[in-house]
Amino acid sequence: MTPIIDVCNIRKSFGGLTVIDDCSVRIAEGSITGMIGPNGAGKSTLFNIIAGSLAPDSGEVLLDGEPITSLPAHLRFHKGLLRTFQIAHEFSHLTALENLMMVPPAQEGERLFSNWLRPGRVRREEAEVRRRAQEVLDFIGLTRVRNEPAGNLSGGQKKLLELGRTMMTEARVVLLDEIAAGVNRTLLGDLIGNIERLNREMGYTFLVIEHDMDMIARLCDPVIVLAEGRVMLEGPIEEVQSHPEVIEAYFGAQSA
């Protein structure tokens, strides 16, 4: 399949310690790709390099064939590359609905000039953004908390809201960082279902970093295994789980 994200020969060191060592990864367009590995394997560092919050020492990141290595995270956002966080970053005093309405960039109401001279245009755009936000809340199953301050939501509801925020943009690739962390099993099922629907119905490509192996097994194909800053293996979860080196490097390390 055609790669939408191409990570080419990335290296990253911190204080003389090499965390990512000549690592190359290709994320196929339309896939839900999982990334696993033992603690210290370099997953979070590579994730942050792809997201644009960390610069590599060398190597290149391409989005749909276009180099984006030097682009900051907010410009990658405008190109459709988004991320969620292990700890949700909601606007706690705004309602769930308002959190979604904050996402679309360059809204007319953000311009003082437009509020003075184009109030009708501002109202129409705001009504459309509100309508879209309500549709997203319906999609992710949070309609009943639409007027609840986001800070009052449960951990799982906040993760759903973060996923909903990606739907308020022209998202193409969504990087999911430990989205299962702190989520009860019922809401985790909702999260997985929504990710699958976004992939199937809206064409989202996902890269998932996750320690919950049940979630990886249910959701991801292929799965990339990192160890010591390099790709050890890539393939279906059945192959990954049965590979002797992976059992030693990852599953053995987890049970030690």
pLDDT of residue 135: 94
**Per-residue confidence of the chain (256 residues) as pLDDT tens digits?**
679 999 999 999 998 899 999 999 999 999 999 999 888 889 999 999 999 999 999 999 999 999 999 999 999 998 999 988 766 778 899 999 999 988 866 555 555 565 555 666 667 778 888 899 999 999 999 999 999 999 999 988 998 998 898 888 888 999 998 888 778 888 888 889 999 999 999 999 999 998 888 889 999 999 999 988 999 989 998 888 888 877 776 655 444 3
d(CA 78, CA 10): 23
pLDDT of residue 248: 76
What's the topology of domain 3-90+154-255? Rossmann fold (3.40.50)
Per-domain residue ranges for the chain?
A: 3-90+154-255, 91-152
For 222, residues 6+ apart whose C-beta sits below 8 A from its C-beta are 31, 33, 34, 234, 235, 236
Contact of 161 with 142, CB cutoff 8 Å:
yes
Residue 10 CA: distances (Å) to CA of 20, 40, 54, 88, 242:
7, 16, 12, 28, 28
Contact of 98 with 153, CB cutoff 8 Å:
no
How many C-beta atoms surround the C-beta of residue 229 within 10 A? Answer: 23
pLDDT of residue 256: 38
